[in-house]
Amino acid sequence: MFIVKCLDPPIRHGQTRYNFVIQKYTKEDMCEITLHISQEDLETKFQDRLSRTMTGPTYEVYARILKELVGRKITISKNYKTRNGAHAISCALRANPGLLYPLEKAFLFIHKPPVLVRFDEVACVNFARVLGGSTIKSFDFEVENRNGTSYTFSNIAREDYPSLSEFVTQKKLAVKNKGQRNIRDTINEGMDDSDNEPDHYLEQMKLEGEMKDSEDEDSSYAAESEKDDDLEFDSQASISDSENEANANTEEQRAEPKPKKIERSRKESKSNSKSKKKEKTEKSSKVSLVFYTTVCIFVSLKSWL
């Protein structure tokens, strides 16, 4: 159970304004309260509509007290019922799941964001995705206001269409897609033989479906012909690719050096490096021997002198 209070002016918190206060109750919650009001005030001001001690469900006691203190009428969703006996429709508004309550003079959606659409501000309504066949299990309910704003309540169960359509008819709201006025009977009975007038909207939908089928056939034929051409082109391309691969393999074989030649060149380079090192060592040994002999001659001359 929900009690929704519409605030005018709204509550302001920073830059955010809250136009509604939503309170949630359960049917099992019971309470017993005592009002601090004299018996004289109860008789004169409230005319015995309230009593000093009140018991019952919490939401009911709160609603009775609120009605008498504020002096406003409380609207209850009791005139509308779905096929399952519920007073609200399960749907979504801008990907936010919630409940849509068809009231006496307005549509109310809760929880986030709470939206109140008055009937006197509604320009027209629209039932979308209803003629989708038995595979589609839901439809959309669109409401357009006179100021240009619109609300789309999506993911409504297909079984809720008859009751909602009947409610819209009772409230004399303008329906944008009037061609779908007999869909309620087709959903309930599976066929519609009661209305002999031609349904121009349905005929237009059938014509568009036939045109779409013909376009699909043409596109499928064109796709098949393109596929055959692609197969021929692919066969030629595969032949040319195989020839190119064979040529490339022969060129690679020619370009690759033989392993024996590579090993010989490596051995020759190693032998050259060894000979060079040997020559360097021999030269250094010769230089050192010459230097040693010169030193010895110099020492002997000095001792002789």
Consecutive H or E run containing 33: strand 30-34
Which pLDDT score, from 0 to 100, does residue 137 have? 86
Measuring CA to CA, which residue among 250, 252, 268, 249 is closest to residue 260? Answer: 268
Averaged pLDDT in 10-residue chunks for the chain of 305 residues:
88 90 91 88 83 91 89 85 90 93 94 91 90 78 93 92 92 76 48 45 58 58 52 47 54 49 59 64 57 56 56
Which pLDDT score, from 0 to 100, does residue 167 have? 94
Domains 2-70 and 89-201 share a fold: yes
Residue ranges per domain, the chain? 2-70, 89-201, 271-305
SS3 call for 258: coil
Do residues 36 and 51 lie in contact, with contact meaning Cβ atoms separated by under 8 Å? no
CATH number of this structure's domain 89-201: 2.30.29.30
Do residues 100 and 153 lie in contact, with contact meaning Cβ atoms separated by under 8 Å? yes
Do residues 119 and 103 lie in contact, with contact meaning Cβ atoms separated by under 8 Å? no
Which pLDDT score, from 0 to 100, does residue 268 have? 63
Q: Residues 24, 26, 31, CA angle at the centre, nearest 5°?
A: 100
| CATH 1.10.10.10 is the classification of domain 2-70 | no
- Residues sharing a CB contact under 8 Å with residue 275, sequence separation 6 or more, in sequence order: none
Which residues, in sequence order, are bridge partners of residue 7?
none
pTM here is 0.56
